Amino acid sequence: MEKGPGSGLLFRPNRGMIVAETEAAQAAPGPEGAEKEEPVMRLFDTHAHYDSGAFNADRDAVLAALPAAGVTLVVNPGCDLESSRQAVALAERFPHVYAAVGIHPSDCGGCGETEFEELKALCRHEKVVAIGEIGLDYYWQDNPPREFQQMVFRRQIELALALDLPIIVHDREAHGDSLALVLEYPALRLSLLLRQSRNGGSAYQAGLVSGD
């Protein structure tokens, strides 16, 4: 584990859990009686999509300004191969940005061996710290069939285990299947969980964490 770039955060940046622990950034001791500076809060943005077109006008400026604003670490997950490539490219350009790469359930249609091989290659980049955003999404009727989503999710979980990476899970209206599938892999580590449900979310999150 090491210090995050220019931060008061502890961070293990590769081949393991994404870990952040707050450390109040204290000013160096001054002369007796000197006014002490207030601790500075350092933030770790664990899930951001700066590759989104919403940032086309000012992406570089926004990312460059984050450390001065107290956001000293960012993980940018991909949702398909193109956004995963973009996440890696951003991580290469900004020292405080790290990437996750993966194929989102809504974007997994047509995913086959070629896509899995490219995903595996992306995972080997030194600034890729997780596989995601992956999972199951039964909410949208035009999403790929449930059985196909499960196959793609399973393949990415197995890749994460092979490469000793945690995963970032997207689950929408698929709690039972998501939990059952994840718990088939006792060694799997989930560093981040994206919940998008109003009902039963806390219990589901607790279940996933207990299976870590």
Residue 22 has pLDDT above 50, yes or no: no
Q: Say if residue 32's pLDDT is above 70.
A: no
Closest CA to 160 of 193, 136, 185, 181: 185
C-alpha–C-alpha distance, residues 122 and 198, integer Å: 34
Is the pLDDT at 125 greater than 80? The verdict is yes
Per DSSP, helices labelled H in 124-169 are 146-163
Q: Which residues contact 147 (CB under 8 A, 6 or more apart)?
A: none
pLDDT at 159 over 50: yes
Query: Looking at residues 178-193, what average pLDDT do you find?
Result: 82
| pLDDT at residue 102, as a whole number | 97
CB atoms inside a 10 Å sphere around CB 41:
10
Average pLDDT along the chain:
81
Give the pLDDT of residue 145: 97
Give the integer Cα–Cα distance in Å for 4 and 154: 31
What's this model's pTM, rounded to 2 decimal places?
Answer: 0.76
**pLDDT exceeds cutoff 80 at 8:** no
pLDDT band (50, 70, 90) for residue 41: confident
Nearest Cα neighbor of 126 from 163, 159, 153, 152 is 163
Per-residue pLDDT at 11: 40
* pLDDT at res. 190: 74
Pair 188, 209: CB distance under 8 Å = no
d(CA 9, CA 149): 36
Listed in sequence order, the residues at least 6 apart from 55 whose beta carbon sits closer than 8 Å to its beta carbon are 62
- Per-residue pLDDT of 76-86, as tens digits, reads 999 999 999 99
Q: In the prediction, which pLDDT does 72 show? A: 95
User: Is pLDDT at 203 greater than 50 in this prediction?
Assistant: no
Dist CA 193 CA 133 (whole Å): 9
Q: Does residue 117 carry a pLDDT above 70?
A: yes
Token pair 């109003």 is found at 198
Mean pLDDT of 96-101: 97
Please check whether residue 128 is in contact with residue 138, taking contact to mean a CB–CB distance below 8 angstroms.
Answer: no
Average confidence (pLDDT) over 65-71: 95
Contacts of 201 (CB under 8 A, 6+ apart): 195
What tokens were used for 52?
Answer: 């989104």
What the block records as the tokens of 116 is: 């899995």
Residue 60 vs residues 11, 48, 63, 91, 107: alpha-carbon distances, Å: 23, 14, 5, 12, 26
* pLDDT over threshold 80, residue 21: no
